[in-house]
Amino acid sequence: MAVTEHVAADVRGMTLPDAWRSFRTAIGLGWAIESNWSDPFLFAVYTLAKPLAAAMILVLMFQVVTGGSNTEFLQFLIVGSALWNVVFGVMAGLVQSILEDRERYRMIKYVVVTPTSLFPFLLGRSLARVLISLVAVALTLAVGVFLLGVELRPQPLILIPSMIIGMLAVLALGIFMAGWCLQLRQEAWSYPEAIAGGLYLVSGAIFPIDILPTFVQPIAYALPTTWWLEASRRGLIGHGSPGQLGTIPDGTVMLILVATTAITVPLALLAFAWFMKRARQAGLLDMITGS
């Protein structure tokens, strides 16, 4: 069923309180679904074991090869591995929220036809997963500091703006992915993992981007995630990545982060608006792919 765009002239538009109410309600819903009404202790174990294990894999790889020397690389690994939880949490959160609501709970069409917009609902609905990913970041860093001897040298002037700007960029990528996945007939569930996996590979999350094949490196330099990770590393541990990226001055890194984010955010919002328009016209909002 296609949802038409005709709006009567006397219908008031969505106000800020409407959006806030929708956002707030969606947060509660997202949390209930995410925690799956499970035992809080078990939920905590499930949630935290995954990122910790992912970091420990890298730590053991590092240990078997270096025997524990080259602690600068260990710091690089731990911070990259910790921060990547945010990217995956945001991407998976936004995409899976929109797909679950369309395919499993089959209520996205009802949200779309209500006076409120899908956008604040979608952000609220996925916030639970984003918050869980932030907990995973903190936990991985804590393990790095207390068990592996990672030395944090926070520089708030770099860390705070880089986290805010970087999160904006990652959210924009997630919003773009959510709109894109609405258009897909099959395998939409696999896209966030595939895209996040691709970004993981080229953003220098766990190895310096100099290691990548030469033809991939320009892609790495064009991504806001690369610059967010680099700026955050400098803000957290006081130095950048090993290799070429680490030689770029802090100011330039921040500037490029701002520039790539300033390009990514409006493009993603425009794309999402177009994807939603197409989804309404093509009747994709109540499509069940069975995938």
Q: Give the footprint of another protein on this chain (CB under 8 A).
A: 36-38, 42-43, 45-47, 49-51, 53-54, 56-58, 60-66, 70, 73, 77, 186-187, 190, 193-194, 197-198, 200-201, 205-208, 211-212, 242
Structure tokens that stand for 118 in this block: 């899908």
User: 213 or 251: whose CB is closer to another protein?
Assistant: 213
Judged by beta carbon, residue 208 or residue 238, the one nearer another protein is 208
Amino acid letter for position 258: V
Question: 194 or 270, CB closer to another protein?
Answer: 194
Shortest Cβ 8–another protein spacing (Å): 37
* Closer residue to another protein, CB minimum distance, 89 or 120: 89
DSSP state of 100: I
- For the bound state, the minimum distance from the C-beta of residue 164 to another protein, rounded and expressed in Å, comes to 27
Q: Within 10 Å of residue 180's Cβ, how many Cβ atoms?
A: 18
Q: State the nearest-atom distance from the C-beta of 258 to another protein, in Å.
A: 27
Nearer to another protein, 15 or 70 (CB): 70
Check the CA dihedral 100-101-102-103 and report its sign.
positive
Give the span between the Cα atoms of 25 and 31, in whole angstroms: 10
The amino acid occupying position 125 is: R
User: 174 vs 192, which CB is nearer to another protein?
Assistant: 192
Q: Which long-range contacts (CB under 8 A, 24 or more apart) does 148-156 make?
A: 148/59, 148/74, 148/78, 149/71, 150/71, 150/74, 150/75, 150/78, 150/79, 150/237, 151/75, 151/237, 152/236, 152/237, 153/236, 153/237, 153/238, 154/235, 154/236, 155/234, 155/235, 155/236, 155/238, 156/235
Taking the C-alpha atoms of residue 24 and residue 121, their distance in angstroms, rounded to an integer, is: 8
CB of 110 to another protein, least distance (A): 18
Residue 212 Cβ vs another protein, minimum distance, rounded to whole Å: 7
- Beta carbon of residue 109, minimum distance to another protein (angstroms, whole number): 19
SS3 call for 10: coil
